[in-house]
Structure 1
Amino acid sequence: MARPIEFERDQVLEKAMLAFWDQGYCATSMTQLVKATKLNPGSIYAAFKSKEELFLATLDHYGEASAEKISLALKASDSPLQGIRNYFRQLAATTTNPKAQQSCLLVNTILELAHRNTKVRQRVNAHFEVIESCFRSALQAAHDSGELSADKDPTEVATFLISSIWGLRVLAGTGPAPARAEAVVSQILKLLD
């Protein structure tokens, strides 16, 4: 009889996620994953079946955490638009944080794998859609209350905002650039006026 798997799944996903985030999917070897997770290869394969399935699980771990953070940030203000403004100002501020300079794992993954791995592309797109829907809901609430101008379509603005987040996360990956990020965010937020 096989021994039951004994590890904290979220901790393993966090450690594997950091390895993939640091190296990229293709450059991360099973040896590096074993070292990062402190599991033996058999345990990794028993729990996740393959390197790709482990990677997909780390994308889910990251994507769900990101969507939760964004949702909470947008709901932290009484005003939907103020919640969006606060989120973007905080995003600009993170460009000086060395951890933020890794860019976004979802964006990195699209750039590395979208053209050659349909399953990964679909998974990342599903996470992008969840994140975009957080903004769409806030914008719809602002639209319905008259806070967002009637001539602005919440769906189109949400798509613009999520695209702007991707750009800011790539900018963060280039190194500390707080003045540039603040200037970009200032232009983004003008759309909400």
Structure 2
Amino acid sequence: MTPKRSKAERTRQFIIETTAGIFNTKGYAGTSLNDLTEATGLTKGSIYGNFENKEEVALAAFDYNLSRIKQGIQQRMDLAATYREKLQVYGDVYRELFRNPIVVGGCPILNTAIEADDTNNLLKDRASKAILYWKKNIIDLIRAGIATGEFREDSEPERTALSIIALIEGGIMIAQATNTPMYLDKVLKTVDMLIGQLEKRVP
């Protein structure tokens, strides 16, 4: 049974969920306190009574957006029968994320990494950790596939993981910049090819 949240916890969660799309769309620098008060209907004092500053709200919003994506990926992975299918979940989820966002504003990792690169070390660190977490998960799936004999023993898990992440995030960036979703589809075909190359060839 889930413990009942206090009023303060419910208010804090309301602020996070209500502002998550704003931060992901406008970025940290582009989001004003007025944006937060208008979206939530709360006063400045109420918001800062639950968070130390705007940066703390932005960090919590990033975590919330990322958790939504992780949840969508995990639900798909639980249904996948093979390690190839599990790896292909990433492309499938991010393709849908671009067209029918489960979080407003698109990929929070891409958005935050680009904006925070030279402006906010805490947000940059959050994006960095998200990428490393993603890389580790892909490496673990590839190694598990090697262990079960589904993937080739000479597969290079880290190189493949970094390539998959770079292709997906780069594809999203190109598709967003040009407003051409088809470009992401083309890039994701390369991701599928890369995953296919991991499989053992039947003589």
Q: Is TM (by shorter chain) over 0.5? A: yes
Q: Does 1:158 align with 2:161?
A: yes
The corresponding residue for 2:109 is: 106
RMSD: 2.4
The corresponding residue for 2:66 is: 63
* Equivalent position amino acid for 1:142 in 2: G
Report the more deviating stretch, 26-35 or 96-105.
96-105
Identity of aligned residues (%): 24
1:84–1:20: structure 2 CA closer, same or farther, 3 Å change rule? same
CA distance in 1, matches of 2:167, 2:136: 15
Report the more deviating stretch, 45-54 or 170-179.
170-179
The corresponding residue for 1:119 is: 122
1:176–1:149: structure 2 CA closer, same or farther, 3 Å change rule? farther
- Superposition deviation, residue 108 in structure 1: 1.1
Contact 2:171/2:183 (<8 A) preserved: no
- Superposition deviation, residue 58 in structure 1: 0.7
* Equivalent position amino acid for 2:113 in 1: I
CA distance in 1, matches of 2:8, 2:94: 38
- Larger relative contact order, structure 1 or 2 (CA cutoff 8 Å, min sep 6): 1
1:32-55 CA-to-partner distances (Å, cap 9, x unmatched) read 101112221111111111000110
Contact 2:164/2:191 (<8 A) preserved: yes
Give aligned pairs, total: 190
Q: Does 1:82 align with 2:85?
A: yes
Contact 2:73/2:93 (<8 A) preserved: no
Structure 2 residue runs of 5 or longer lacking an equivalent are 1-6, 197-203
1:181–1:100: structure 2 CA closer, same or farther, 3 Å change rule? farther
Among 186, 190, 193, the alignment partner of 1:187 is 190
